[in-house]
Structure 1
Amino acid sequence: MKKLLWFFLVLGALITACKPEGAPKEPPKDYYAAITENTDYDSLLAQKLGSDDYGMKAYVMAFLKAGPNRDLDSTAAAKLQEAHLKNIIRMAEAGKLLVAGPFMDDSEIRGIYIFDVRSIEEAQKLTETDPAIKAGSLVMELHPWYGPAVLPLLVPLHKKVEKNSVVD
């Protein structure tokens, strides 16, 4: 048993030592801890994020649904999708869109947006900038939503793990 333990220790050391130069590096073991170890209430952060006493705030959630005009040829559909993605990035960079993503099944609801806005009307104006909405490929269903006030922190964290942009 002792020999087997030593074998695995030596094997582990060899694997670690032989890691190729360009291999991805592991984040420091304390990386996650540095972000999560102090979970004490932070009144300044809560105020900056617009949090209520429960750590929550109001957003507007959009359900992107299949629209009536979905019969584009593959070239036109690809161009429309690229314009749709560029608009998503534009809204995110403006700080208005916090979460966006498609559903992975083939249902009528194609994806979601979570807008960092206070009203349905403001979210409606933003959705009207979406080329897929303009083309009738998608339609939006908007709802006020009460969610975690920390959602705006997802955008900079996402940048830390995004190796490639969806529109390079």
Structure 2
Amino acid sequence: MKNISLIFVLILFTAGLRAQDYTNTNTDAPETFKYNWEGTDYTMQKYFIVFLKEGPVRNQSEEEASKIQSEHLAYLADLYKKEIIVLNGPGGDGGEIKGFSLYAVATKEKAIELASNDPAVKAGRLIVEALPWWLAKGSIVK
């Protein structure tokens, strides 16, 4: 519960940050800044959470859908091994959001580009939506 409270406070804090608070000048790396909360130093990093939503083309045969799913999982595993994706998993309620991935990339456009190369997205089974998300490094991701 303390981690959830910390993350919530840090997210609220970041909403009011000014541009000069950022320390990362590498345009290929995610934005970061230092933050001290209750005597502990944190490095905040901007991630992009990509929601994988139900796509318009879901009429594949069971065999084809299974093949696409296997390719989808292999693609995500490869991005995870490369530490481009740092967290991901399926949605659990059977709703429109079928899963999500947390991308450690510099821009929303890069996250969308990578997510759009997913075989399930290319096949139309999934569509993507990306949003920025600030987290303290090491809080729930590496």
Question: Equivalents in 2 of 1:121, 1:52: separation in Å?
Answer: 24
Moved segments of 4+, more than 2 Å: none
Aligned-CA RMSD value: 1.9
Structure 1 residue 51 displacement after superposition: 5.7
What is the aligned counterpart of 1:53 among 31, 35, 44?
35
Matches within 5 A, 1:1-168: 52-54=34-36, 55=42, 56-150=44-138, 151-153=140-142
1:63-99, Cα deviation, whole Å (9 max, x unpaired)? 1100000111111111000000000011011110011
Query: Gapped runs of 5+ residues in structure 2?
Result: 1-31, 37-41
Question: Equivalents in 2 of 1:134, 1:74: separation in Å?
Answer: 17
The secondary structure found in structure 2 opposite 1:136 is coil
1:76-132, Cα deviation, whole Å (9 max, x unpaired)? 111000000000011011110011101111100111110011211111221122000
**One-letter amino acid matched to 1:53:** Y
Count of residues in Structure 1 that have an aligned counterpart in Structure 2: 106
- Once the two structures are aligned, what percentage of the paired residues are identical? 32
The answer on whether the counterparts of 1:51 and 1:149 sit within 8 Å (CA) in structure 2 is no
Question: Equivalents in 2 of 1:122, 1:78: separation in Å?
Answer: 27
The answer on whether the counterparts of 2:80 and 2:86 sit within 8 Å (CA) in structure 1 is yes
Larger Rg: 1
Query: Gapped runs of 5+ residues in structure 1?
Result: 1-49, 154-168
**One-letter amino acid matched to 1:141:** E
**One-letter amino acid matched to 1:87:** Y
State the TM-score, normalizing by the size of structure 1.
0.59
Question: Equivalents in 1 of 2:55, 2:47: separation in Å?
Answer: 24
Q: 1:89 to 1:51 in 2, by over 3 A?
A: farther
